Amino acid sequence: MSPPLAFIRAQGSVITDADGHDFLDYQAAFGPIILGHNFPEVNQRVQEMMARIDLVGVGQTDVEIDLARKVCEHIPSAEKVLFCNSGSEATYGAVRLARAVTGRKKIIKFQGCYHGWHDYLAMNVITPAEKLGMRDPLSAGSLEEALRATLICEFNNLEDVSRTLQQNRGEIAAIIIEPIPHNIGCVLPQPGFLEGLREMTRENGIILIFDEVVTGFRHSLGGYQKLCGVTPDLTTLGKAMANGYPIAAICGKSELMDQFNTRQGGCVFFAGTYNGHPFACAAALATIEVMEKQRVHEHVFRLGEKMRKGLQDILQLLKIKATVAGFGSVFLIYFLEGPVNNYADLLQNDQELFVSHRRKLMDRGIFQLPLNLKRNHISFSHTDEDIERTLRATEEVLATTPSVRE
Ligand SMILES: Cc1ncc(COP(=O)(O)O)c(C=O)c1O
């Protein structure tokens, strides 16, 4: 069965396709849905905003200022913040700023991390085995010069980063990283890895950018940086910040952010007709306030733990050699024997099984995107019963999948 691609309804933890099939949703629109679909408090704030103001496009609105204050209150690296509409715009702006302030051209990213669609960074995410160690652009038509200026290192490998820095001494403007590479499921940073990057970048005058477009607000109000205690120079945010409304942000140290032309004398161009749109700002404010007032993270972390433990028990019971991965609200099963420390380890994942397992779950009304290495997300609207139902369906599917049994 191929995925039902036409949806007509989304409510709480359930999405409904055009044929009227309900699915328990773990795709969460690639991550934004942290509270649940169509969350009443968020919708209400957007509706109130619609009744009051729409796009003005000059100066600021009160909601944009309130939201900026919230981001700076919560995200440790945020002294100042600018809003745009997508994570790709945010990472583009962060890289451009890093190049401007350092006067250097090259960027380091990590194999397996995704930072958006632009030529600066759209490469080396789910790279085929034969291309590992080579440049692997995501798109035809990318500018060769832009690709050449982006160097690829291995996640969790400080020696590789150190070697790359030595080989390109004085040429690296920024290191950009998903602190947990969620675009290949969930690979956790080993103790000392992010700390090591912080030290190396500080010593070498390199801008450290945490791309928290997935992890920000999903793993804590302060992003993963709050949990791991490593503060980057710049941070990009998006997705779970507004529970599905289109908004993203770049934030960081004042001395860097002041170089944007949104400040007098700033020389780094930053613009966008819809930047700071009041509807999206209202959605983000409402989302953050719900997370502040209700036990959102406690709930999604508890259900995440319950899911991972339940999956682990099923694998053990059925004697299946596979690896349960995840953090907080994120979970998935890799069909490989761990441990998983970097993308190369994930080449062992049985892709066919990974996809067919998820297709079978869809037949049972559970939606986990049937695409290799994609993560699953739990929202505040998921219940214990949802998790138990998912575990029962998973056990049924795995029990009848002979190729995974020992
Ligand atoms: C970590 C990360 N950064 C940036 C982006 C790009 O965000 P957008 O799709 O909003 O442009 C994504 C999108 O999946 C992402 O996962």
Mutation pick for ligand 1 pocket among 33, 239, 243, 373 (CB with most ligand atoms within 8 Å): 239
266 and 190 inside one domain: yes
286 and 301 inside one domain: no
Does residue 2 fall inside a structural domain? no
Cβ < 6 A, ligand 1 pocket = 30, 86-88, 91, 114-116, 178, 183, 211, 213-214, 238, 248
Task: Check residue 24 and give its pLDDT.
Answer: 98
Chain-centroid distance of CA 53 in Å reads 31
Cβ contacts of 331 within 8 Å, gap of 6 or more:
186, 304, 307, 308, 311, 324, 325, 375, 376, 378
Write the residue with the smallest CA distance to atom 4 of ligand 1: 115
Nearest in space to 132 (alpha carbons), one of 342, 404, 317: 342
17 and 125 inside one domain: no
Pairing state of beta strands 323-327 and 248-252? unpaired
Task: Check residue 401 and give its pLDDT.
Answer: 85
148 and 247 inside one domain: yes
Does residue 117 fall inside a structural domain? yes
**What is the pTM assigned to this prediction?**
0.97
How far apart are the CA of 27 and the centre of ligand 1, in A?
14
Gyration radius (Cα) of the chain, Å: 21
Length of the chain: 406
pLDDT along the chain (406 residues), means of 10: 79 97 98 98 98 96 98 98 98 98 98 98 98 97 97 98 98 98 98 98 98 98 98 99 98 98 96 98 98 98 98 97 98 97 98 97 98 98 98 97 65
Could you say which DSSP state residue 189 is in? Answer: P
**Ligand 1 atom with least separation from CA of 239:** 10
Does residue 36 fall inside a structural domain? no
340 and 254 inside one domain: no
| Residues paired with 11 in a beta bridge | 14
Q: How far is CA 386 from CA 26, 99, 235, in A?
A: 10, 47, 33
179 and 110 inside one domain: yes
User: Which active-site residues does the annotation give?
Assistant: 114, 211, 239
**Ligand 1 atom with least separation from CA of 212:** 1
105 and 189 inside one domain: yes
Task: Check residue 154 and give its pLDDT.
Answer: 98
How far apart are the CA of 32 and the centre of ligand 1, in A?
10
Does residue 279 fall inside a structural domain? yes
| Boundary residue ending a domain (232, 263, 293) | 293
CATH number (domain holding residue 50): 3.40.640.10
Cβ contacts of 201 within 8 Å, gap of 6 or more:
175, 207, 208, 233
Task: Check residue 114 and give its pLDDT.
Answer: 98
**Ligand 1 atom with least separation from CA of 238:** 10
The neighbour count for residue 117, using CB atoms within 10 Å, is 16
Write the residue with the smallest CA distance to atom 3 of ligand 1: 115
Does residue 35 fall inside a structural domain? no
CATH number (domain holding residue 331): 3.90.1150.10
Mutation pick for ligand 1 pocket among 27, 83, 88, 126 (CB with most ligand atoms within 8 Å): 88
- CA–CA separation, 122 and 203 (whole Å): 27
How far apart are the CA of 90 and the centre of ligand 1, in A?
9
119 and 18 inside one domain: no
> Contact at 8 Å (CB) between 111 and 132?
yes
Task: Check residue 406 and give its pLDDT.
Answer: 54
Task: Check residue 242 and give its pLDDT.
Answer: 98
Task: Check residue 5 and give its pLDDT.
Answer: 83
Task: Check residue 403 and give its pLDDT.
Answer: 64
Task: Check residue 3 and give its pLDDT.
Answer: 61
Domain count, the chain: 2
Does residue 86 fall inside a structural domain? yes
Does residue 232 fall inside a structural domain? yes
Asked if the peptide bond before residue 339 counts as cis, ω within 30 degrees of 0, the response is yes
217 and 284 inside one domain: yes
**Ligand 1 atom with least separation from CA of 248:** 10
Task: Check residue 183 and give its pLDDT.
Answer: 98
282 and 321 inside one domain: no
Mutation pick for ligand 1 pocket among 27, 115, 120 (CB with most ligand atoms within 8 Å): 115
Write the residue with the smallest CA distance to atom 8 of ligand 1: 87
Does residue 197 fall inside a structural domain? yes
Nearest in space to 91 (alpha carbons), one of 232, 235, 206: 235
Write the residue with the smallest CA distance to atom 7 of ligand 1: 87
How far apart are the CA of 341 and the centre of ligand 1, in A?
22
289 and 301 inside one domain: no
| Boundary residue ending a domain (263, 293, 323) | 293
How far apart are the CA of 297 and the centre of ligand 1, in A?
21
Question: Domain limits at 118?
Answer: 41-293
| Boundary residue ending a domain (239, 266, 293) | 293
How far apart are the CA of 101 and the centre of ligand 1, in A?
24
**Ligand 1 atom with least separation from CA of 183:** 16
113 and 200 inside one domain: yes
Mutation pick for ligand 1 pocket among 33, 83, 113, 114 (CB with most ligand atoms within 8 Å): 114
